[in-house]
Structure 1
């Protein structure tokens, strides 16, 4: 296989045509697991598309809260689209070769939208904090314009910072193995294949990967500390229960997304698994299932979205029934 050579800063940078993804190959019944992920992907596309459609085409839902919910649905959709079709191609169709540029593109999209997912949950925590802690002034503080600005800021930060981290890959030479021990073009396994030393860039990239996971989680924790302080200052027990009840779905989302990722990173760093593919299996499950669960746990349990979604389903069913009746009448007339 020929290598692509690029002259960069008066030195030769060797870029291979692509990489071979070999993670999860030792696990039994991996095809069954990938079929399960395919089902997860279908559910992700259907429910998140429904949430996006309902929010976009209903002007009464153009509020700060639902702008944040729609933002999460878009991120969920892109995140699973980046990973699951690729896994189907690798483990079911048995085509595990990924071209170099496509590999970097997948790496960028996965980490950029993984970062956006983390910040999207922090934004929803911020929305809950404003609604509970300063309920009398929430309409003046948390406006649609301010929410759109915050979301836009997180997008600019996430896309920019991950572009910097992935851009480091273009400065590396890959002249040894082309085998990536992961289930996709993961940053760390690809970086370890480089045959030149960029220690400073690796340190920066590790610091960024720590920040994009820990900083949003810290913001979420601070938001809930403020919420708990406010709730326990309430005199009425009924008011406390109602305030906390509005946070339950969001807490579930945070637990589903952040806790498995943080746990897997720590366990894989300090402990050694009997099967080297086990951390990748857990990580793929922790990455792919939250985008599927988010709309069902959070969005579709919200009364406004649920009512609009049910109305849309009824309208579609009525239109389908009418179309069937017209078709049947046309057949009867011909007979």
Structure 2
């Protein structure tokens, strides 16, 4: 804590995408704004649908709701500032606001990772133990496990951020990133302490590799269980229940593992390319996941189809009623004359 007395930086400056020409500021900010609207609309839609549709009150869709909440929150925490930077040339972020953003960035990513583990557990139990699944994995079980994912991520990230605050920040205050993250901020310290980076790296590996290891193991077990099904049609139908979860998991982990592997083998990406890759793997899943929920999940497709047919019937009935009313008024007017 004594390092805080040496802190002389009051603000940080977000650079966004280094080397981006000013002529592209407007298109980039517009693109990011469209992505933000897509994330907001898509994930709010999923949250409302899961909340209001009783047929979706099942463990699988409760987990989808938690994932949608992390995606919505992540987009809300990260995108407005970078949009403001390119739209209004507002690159300034207060010192403590940067650390608040850092907390939410890593907290939400870590919670998302462990909720993916819960989702894999759900599929593993549903396919490997179909008879026990309804009693073993209830809505309450799913809610408790997702709640523990949030709690575990929150408690560890509070420690990580407070640990980073013990460092003195008195040199550069330029952040070469689109948002405040632990690695970028702590590198700006004028007296970096190795244990701070070591703890944060260990935590990052824990929240990435523990869920990923379980997910890979569970899907191997799922594949074995599917191969034991006697008919090809049965195997395909069972595997199709895993498709949304598999796509969501691949979207989240594949680019992250790619970045870590390139660093590990010494084939590091250049700073501009790294920032672009980080933004892509941070935001694209959040925007695409609602589409996967809607078009790759049987119950949600049936729910949306039913609501669409009901709305169509209502509109047709309303149009027919309006036409009948107009026709009646015309006939009455003719009789009166």
TM-score, with structure 2 as normaliser? 0.86
Which of 272, 277, 286 pairs up with 2:272? Answer: 277
Change (3 A) 1:93 1:316: farther
Contact 2:62–2:142 under 8 Å retained in 1 = yes
Match of 1:18 in 2: 11
Q: Which residue of the partner structure matches residue 4 of structure 1?
A: none
- Corresponding residue SS for 1:40: helix
Residues 54, 308 of structure 1: 8 Å contact kept: no
Cα pair distance change 1:15/1:118, threshold 3 Å: farther
Cα displacement (A) at 1:60: 3.0
Q: Are the counterparts in 1 of residues 120 and 215 from structure 2 also a CA contact under 8 Å?
A: yes
Partner-residue secondary structure (3-state), 1:183: coil
- Distance verdict in 2 for CA 1:54–1:99, change over 3 Å: same
Q: Distance in 1 between matches of 2:304 and 2:263?
A: 41
2:67 counterpart of 1:75: no
Q: Distance in 1 between matches of 2:18 and 2:82?
A: 12
SS of the equivalent of 2:88 reads coil
TM superposition shift of 1:130:
0.9
Q: Does 1:248 align with 2:234?
A: no
Query: How far off is 1:236 after superposition?
Result: 2.2
Distance in 2 (CA, whole Å) between partners of 1:125 and 1:179 is 40
Of the structure 1 ranges 195-204 and 88-97, higher mean CA displacement relative to structure 2 is found in 195-204
User: In the comparison of the two structures, how many residue pairs are matched?
Assistant: 318
Supply the distance in 1 between the matched residues of 2:205 and 2:8 (Cα, whole angstroms). Answer: 27
Match of 2:124 among 129, 134, 143: 129
Cα deviations by residue, 1:224-249 (Å, 9 ceiling, x for unpaired): 01101111222222222212122122
Select the residue among 101, 106, 109 that pairs with 1:106.
101
Counterpart CA distance in 2 for 1:13 and 1:175 is 7
Residue 268 (structure 1) shift: 4.4
Structure number with larger C-alpha Rg: 2
Q: Which is richer in helix?
A: 2
Structure 2 partner of 1:50: 45
Give the Cα–Cα distance (whole angstroms) in 2 for the partners of residues 306 and 114 of structure 1: 28
Q: Is the 8 A contact 2:12 2:175 kept in 1?
A: yes
Secondary structure of the residue aligned to 2:93 is strand
Question: Which of 264, 269, 286 is residue 259 of structure 2 equivalent to?
Answer: 264
- Contact 1:13 1:171 (8 Å CA) reproduced: no
The question of whether the paired residues in 1 share the 8 Å contact of 2:167 and 2:191 is answered with yes
Counterpart-to-counterpart distance in 1, 2:20 and 2:84? 17
Shift in Å, 1:304: 2.6
| Deviation of 1:299 (Å) | 4.1
Deviations 1:190-214 (A, max 9, x none): 1011112321122111110111112
Counterpart in 2 of 1:119? Answer: 114
Which of 149, 154, 161 does residue 149 from structure 2 map onto?
154
Indicate how the Cα distance of structure 1 residues 10 and 92 shifts in structure 2: closer, same or farther if over 3 A, else same.
Answer: closer
Q: Secondary structure at the match of 1:20?
A: strand
Coordinate RMSD, CA, aligned:
2.6
Aligned 1:1-335 pairs, distance under 5 A: 8-9=1-2, 12-14=5-7, 16-28=9-21, 29=24, 31-268=26-263, 270-273=266-269, 275-310=270-305
State the distance in 1 between where 2:4 and 2:111 align. Answer: 35
Instruction: Using structure 1 for the length normalisation, give the TM-score.
Output: 0.87
Give the drift of 1:183.
Answer: 1.2
Contact 1:15/1:174, CA 8 A, preserved across alignment: yes
Q: What are the ranges of 5 or more consecutive residues in structure 1 without an aligned counterpart?
A: 1-7, 330-335
